[in-house]
Copies of this chain bind each other. A is one copy, B any other.
Amino acid sequence: MQQPQRKIINDPVYGFITISRQLIFDIIAHPYYQRLRRIQQMALANYVYPGAVHTRFHHSIGAYHLMCQAITELCNKGIEITEEESEAAKAAILLHDIGHGPYSHALENVLVPSAGHEAIGLQIMHKMNEDLDGRLSLAIDIFTNRYHKTFLHSLISGQLDMDRMDYLTRDSFYTGVSEGVIGYDRILKMLIVHNGELMIEEKAIYSAEKFLIARRQMYWQVYLHKAVLAAEKMLKKTVQRVKDIWQPDDTLLQTGSSLDLFLASDGHTPPDFIDAFCSIDDTDVMFAIKRWSRHSDEVLSILSNGLLNRRLLKCTLQNIPVDSGLVIAARRLAAKRLCISEEAAAYLVFSGNAENTTYKIGNEHIDILFKDGNVREISQVDNPLIHPTLSMPVKKFYFCQLR
């Protein structure tokens, strides 16, 4: 009477998550996917929000759960989705972050300068597809938006995709920042496909509004919190420093894991790139930081000890670019104080803009289906809160320096 296999996972956010299809089990059991247990979703945000230690593994299972709900709702509304499409969409969302490396976005483009997590992810999916006898093919088509039912892709990557829906909900849950709470359940219930496009019913307009605002608030309060920013920039500078001073015979820089390949890299990817990439995670980097904290290089020592013991650089945020004269002066001072070159001091005193983040805030294009059958973009709706929200700049300029 019972299904051959059926598993229920406790999730503090949604209660229970049910898994019942063999493909989903097989994906989760794959070592490439299990690796996500060792990659934190929010990198170093736990330096400010100690509860925010949840993993990519947990996030993507959460997004899978929302996908299950979204598909059920759409089916209840008469949208045709076959069993195969449903399974593929669920597989695709489960794998949407598979390309993330150690500390996700914080080290993205530093360890592997030539490729972002989405490009790497696609390679990994193809490799997994081989292991899974081609059962991921449709999932990959949906993921890359080559499948004709584009609304399935929109559920994975779009303004109201399950990724964002889960990360906002989960990140606000684990940080305890109530400002990020969204009415995900209401939005899910209001999803609709009209003319082949994913949109929401008129009744969900306030929830969509809330969703947009919650994202902005999470940016200012969490993702771009100045201490979080400082920690993540320090992590980036640490790895860059190691790469810049790399010497094959400097064994204290090395850990003996695949991480060394990426630190020593001249930009070329190794032939067995995917396997090497999938063998590193947060553990390797944190282990390396602990090792580097004993290194004689002053800059590396300051950065890695700072990360270990949470002695963060001082960070200020502002709305206009930081005056370069100011940065140069502070750098010069630091160099003198630490008896290092100004070039070396640039790892400890630097500025930049905080926009370059993986959380894309672009044109928030959300379509609303009105009761009369009309479709209007949310910014065109006669609601004075939406428009300015959309045009609100999210760029901030930071200035990090020694305390």
Contact = CB atoms under 8 A, between A and B. Distances in A.
Interface stretch (A86-94, A128-136, A286-294, A326-334): A286-294
A324 interface: no
B179 A207 contact: yes
Interface string A23-41: 0000001010010011000
Contacts of A58: 50-51, 53
Interface string A168-208: 00000111111101110110010011100000010100110
A102 to B, nearest CB: 12
B50 A51 contact: no
Interface string A375-386: 000000010110
Contacts of A271: none
Contact of A12 (B18, B175, B182, B291): B175
Nearest to A78: B1
Given A13-B51, A51-B11, A389 B382 contact: no
Nearest to A79: B1
Interface string A154-175: 0000000000000000000111
Contact of A3 (B29, B34, B77, B391): B77
Contacts of A46: 37, 55
For A175, A183, A220, which residue has the most chain B Cβ atoms within 10 angstroms? A183
A141 interface: no
Contacts of A257: 287, 290-291
A15 interface: yes
Interface stretch (A115-123, A210-218, A340-348, A355-363): A210-218
Contacts of A76: 3, 20
